[in-house]
């Protein structure tokens, strides 16, 4: 019987095929055991230990978790920073990428040229782009503030009045942050994250390519039919374009969330691992890295890694739940 799971009952040919299959997938299986399965288990064990690499891990139960949730102020700061970044960076980058893709999809002349320009930033090596943006965002000499310079008094005036109005309306606390213009970017705790968001907006090329590919798949007839029915451009976008590319939007949303939880290199290089000013760029993955490889608190960092894992699963599941019925899968 073919479905039999007992190797003894296999024919020679079947056994041969089994062996060949395992020989070919063997490297991955070994890799999976050594670089995925064992580390996941070990990581969980370490998370219950006091472990600094130099000595053997000492089991001490849930103490790392208790310390993280109970006492570690920086843990909560890093979570807050990551949440802030997620809340602002993902919509901004998605919207920018979508606008660029829709503009390109108008089939204007020189489409390939524009596409290249918008895509190029995303292939710049991350260390190079970080160093570049550090210079662009230099508060005194960077090009961002040189461009903003002439308008910054007006922006200051606007912000001061908006802040005063919000306080007066009771919508903001009395000690509403005093934002200064031109922005101090990486030297100011209120401007550091917007600076990093600006940098990630520059690198939306990947998402743009995905959206553009999605847009080009949308059947033309749908637009033609809608146009005949007198649908406006906005309604065509809202009711045809967005639903048709919703699977890609959804995919990039989930990937963006996972990516933000792992946001590390840019902040690490800009602040040399410090997460300053005033811990405003201490992101979750960076605090984890610092714990592991700078303070050598491997057990503590493993606990953070597991919390990260659980948070990613929860966020992904929540996104699936919240978007159910809004993502359109052709043929499903």
Residues 142-171 interacting with another protein (rule: CB under 8 A)? 143, 146-147, 149
Instruction: Select the span of 78-86, 137-145, 168-176, 227-235 touching another protein (CB under 8 A).
Output: 137-145
243, two tokens: 């639903």
b/e burial code for range 141-158 (CB count within 10 A of at least 16 → b): ebebbeeeeeebeeeeee
Positions in 287-316 near another protein (CB under 8 A): 288-289, 292-293, 298, 301-302, 304-306, 308-309, 312
Angstrom distance (rounded) from CA 246 to CA 330: 10
Which residue number, 43 or 172, has a Cβ lying nearer to another protein? 43
| Among the listed residues 73, 140, 220, 324, the single contact to another protein using CB under 8 A | 140
Residue carrying structure tokens 């040189």: 146
Residue 96 CA to residue 235 CA, distance in Å, equals: 20
Using CB under 8 A as the binding rule, whether residue 225 contacts another protein is answered as no
Note whether 245 binds another protein by CB under 8 A.
Answer: no
- Planar angle of CA 223, 225, 226, nearest 5 degrees: 65
Stretch that binds another protein, among 58-66, 141-149, 156-164, 228-236 (CB under 8 A): 141-149
Smallest distance from the beta carbon of 84 to another protein, in angstroms?
Answer: 19
**Cβ proximity of 247 and 218 under 8 Å:** no
Q: How many residues bind another protein (CB under 8 A)?
A: 91
Residue 258 interacts with another protein (CB under 8 A)?
A: yes
**Residue 215, interface with another protein (CB under 8 A)?**
no
Cis peptide before 277 (omega within 30 of 0): yes
Provide the angle, in degrees to the nearest 10, between the axes of the packed helices 284-293 and 298-322.
Answer: 160
Q: Does 34 bind another protein (CB under 8 A)?
A: yes
Binding mask 54-93 for another protein (x = CB under 8 A): ----------------------------------------
The beta-strand segments (E) located in 16-138 are 49-50, 58-59
Q: Which is nearer to another protein, 9 or 160 (CB)?
A: 9
Six token digits for residue 256: 């963006």
């Amino acid at each position: 019987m073919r479905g039999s799971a007992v190797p003894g009952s296999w024919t020679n040919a079947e056994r041969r095929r089994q062996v060949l299959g395992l020989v070919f997938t063997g490297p991955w299986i070994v890799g999976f055991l050594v670089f995925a399965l064992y580390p996941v288990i070990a990581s969980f064990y370490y998370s219950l230990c006091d472990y600094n690499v130099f000595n053997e891990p000492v089991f001490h139960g849930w103490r790392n978790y208790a310390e993280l949730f109970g006492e570690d102020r920086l843990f909560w700061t890093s979570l807050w920073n990551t949440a802030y970044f997620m809340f602002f960076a993902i919509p901004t980058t998605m919207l920018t990428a979508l606008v660029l893709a829709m503009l390109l999809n108008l089939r204007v002349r020189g489409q390939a040229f524009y596409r290249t320009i918008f895509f190029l930033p995303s292939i710049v090596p991350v260390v190079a782009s970080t160093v570049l943006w550090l210079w662009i965002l230099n508060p005194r000499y960077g090009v961002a503030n040189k461009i903003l310079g002439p308008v910054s008094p007006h922006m200051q005036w606007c912000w001061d009045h908006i802040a005063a109005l919000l306080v007066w309306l009771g919508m903001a606390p009395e000690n509403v942050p005093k934002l200064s213009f031109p922005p101090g970017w990486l030297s100011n705790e209120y401007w550091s994250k917007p600076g990093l968001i600006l940098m990630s907006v520059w690198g939306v090329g990947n998402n743009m390519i995905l959206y553009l590919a999605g847009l080009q798949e949308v059947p033309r007839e749908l637009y033609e039919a809608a146009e005949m029915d007198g649908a406006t451009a906005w309604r065509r976008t809202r009711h045809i374009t967005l639903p048709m590319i919703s699977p890609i939007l959804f995919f990039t949303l989930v990937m963006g969330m996972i990516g933000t939880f792992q946001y590390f290199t840019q902040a690490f290089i800009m602040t040399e691992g410090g997460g300053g000013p005033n811990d405003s760029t201490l992101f979750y993955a960076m605090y984890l890295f610092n714990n592991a490889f700078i303070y050598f608190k491997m057990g503590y960092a493993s606990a953070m890694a597991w919390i990260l894992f659980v948070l990613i699963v929860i966020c992904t599941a929540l996104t699936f739940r919240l978007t159910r019925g809004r993502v359109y899968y052709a043929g499903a």
